[in-house]
Amino acid sequence: MALFSAIRSGLSKTRDAILGELQGIVGTGKVTDELLEQLEEHLIKADVGVETAFALADALREHALGKSLTQKQILEILSTEASNLLTDPPPMEWKSSPHIILIIGVNGAGKTTTIGKLAHHFSAQGKKVMLAAGDTFRAAAIEQLQVWAERSQAEFVRHQEGSDPAAVAYDACAAAQARNCDVLLIDTAGRLHNKGHLMDELRKMVRVIRKHSPEYPHDIWLVIDGNTGQNTINQTKIFHESFPLTGLVVTKLDGTARGGSVLSIANNLDIPIRWVGMGEKIEELAPFDKTEYINGLFAQALDNETP
Ligand SMILES: Nc1nc2c(ncn2[C@@H]2O[C@H](COP(=O)(O)OP(=O)(O)OP(=O)(O)O)[C@@H](O)[C@H]2O)c(=O)[nH]1
Ligand SMILES: [Mg+2]
């Protein structure tokens, strides 16, 4: 219940961006081609992505062209179609202890914060968690992660600032094995997908981790800032070409009007969205759940009209 309302309140700006004008466009008469075009244009501006906007408008065309539907009926069609575009992530496979998760992404996306939140989440499930300070590049990045480790009562492995992140990751894997940890989360420095040498550095990290076991890392999750809008798709595709991403984390969905980008990400990329970040606090991370997300976008408008 608390989680549901967190998603609902976190998505308030996105909901306003999508529904505000939409409610003015639909439900004012017959569904016409002109109305559908307005709808497409509005949805594209609201950052749901071109293909998603067309898919939603097409669904409405199919069900309602020439008909006079109530606003509630139209929003129901749109929310059902939006829900069809989304898939819940498959359950996490805990293949071995330690389960190794490498967290990557562009600068400032929310990687370190997400790791802190994940550590808290997994600790609360009774798992023994270790964090590895694989961002040796940015000043104070190691200390930032250390604070999260303390807050979440996770084990912590670090080297000196400026040292080789691959060596940190290698040692952390050994330490996680030796200390019987269930999960090891490895932080990395922020990098742009088009910076070749930084992508090489990440490749080296993966190669070195694999020396422990070809199964390592079990997961590579890309952290995406939910404010980034349509650039995200291209960035993610390039990361995915270099690394087999097993999941996405979309952060900062609170406070952005661009939370509709989740629909675009889901519609354009075949990588599960696993988590959504809804704030800066340790508990403000939720497993992605399409029903909660769709309810967060549409439910209020539908509720309002419920007798
Ligand atoms: N509102 C909000 N802020 C967030 C969220 N996640 C992270 N932040 C904030 O975003 C900023 C950057 O977060 P970091 O976790 O340091 O991002 P990072 O990807 O590790 O950054 P670099 O290591 O510098 O690449 C911080 O101010 C965080 O508090 C979120 O879900 N919501
Ligand atoms: Mg960081």
Q: What is the pLDDT of residue 4?
A: 55
Ligand 1 in reach of 116 Cβ (< 6 A): no
How far does the centroid of ligand 1 lie from the alpha carbon of residue 60, in Å?
A: 38
Query: Same domain, yes or no, for 149 and 6?
Result: no
The crossing angle, in degrees rounded to 10, of helices 261-268 and 50-64 is: 90
How far does the centroid of ligand 2 lie from the alpha carbon of residue 134, in Å?
A: 9
Supply the range of the domain harboring residue 280: 99-288
Task: Scan for tokens 């309002």, then name that residue.
Answer: 304
How far does the centroid of ligand 2 lie from the alpha carbon of residue 141, in Å?
A: 6
Q: What's the longest Cα–Cα distance across the chain?
A: 68
Mutating to test ligand 1, I would choose from 102, 104, 113, 198 the residue with most ligand atoms within 8 A of its C-beta, which is 113
Distance CA 259, CA 255 (A): 9
Does a structural domain hold residue 128? yes
Does a structural domain hold residue 162? yes
Q: Are 247 and 89 in contact (CB under 8 A)?
A: yes
Query: Same domain, yes or no, for 24 and 104?
Result: no
Query: Same domain, yes or no, for 251 and 207?
Result: yes
- For residue 276, which atom of ligand 1 is closest to its CA? 31
CATH no. for residue 235? 3.40.50.300
Nearest CA to ligand 1 atom 17: 110
Name the residue among 8, 42, 47, 19 with its Cα closest to residue 232.
47
Low-confidence ranges of the chain (pLDDT < 70): 1-5, 27-28, 300-307
pTM of this prediction?
Answer: 0.94
Q: What is the pLDDT of residue 27?
A: 67
Query: Same domain, yes or no, for 61 and 199?
Result: no
Determine the length of the chain.
307
DSSP three-state, residue 94: coil
Query: Same domain, yes or no, for 103 and 84?
Result: no
Does a structural domain hold residue 177? yes
The percentage of the chain sitting over the pLDDT mark of 90, rounded to a whole number, equals 70
Q: What is the pLDDT of residue 249?
A: 97
Task: Scan for tokens 């306003």, then name that residue.
Answer: 16
Does a structural domain hold residue 94? no
How far does the centroid of ligand 1 lie from the alpha carbon of residue 217, in Å?
A: 23
Query: Same domain, yes or no, for 12 and 48?
Result: yes
Ligand 1 in reach of 281 Cβ (< 6 A): no
Q: What is the pLDDT of residue 301?
A: 64
Ligand 1 in reach of 107 Cβ (< 6 A): yes
Query: Same domain, yes or no, for 56 and 126?
Result: no
Ligand 1 in reach of 154 Cβ (< 6 A): no
- Residue 224 bridge partners (DSSP): 250
Query: Same domain, yes or no, for 52 and 16?
Result: yes
How far does the centroid of ligand 1 lie from the alpha carbon of residue 65, in Å?
A: 44
CA atoms within 13 A on the CB side of 130: 25
Instruction: Convert the pLDDT of each residue in 183-203 to its tens digit.
Output: 999 999 999 988 889 999 999
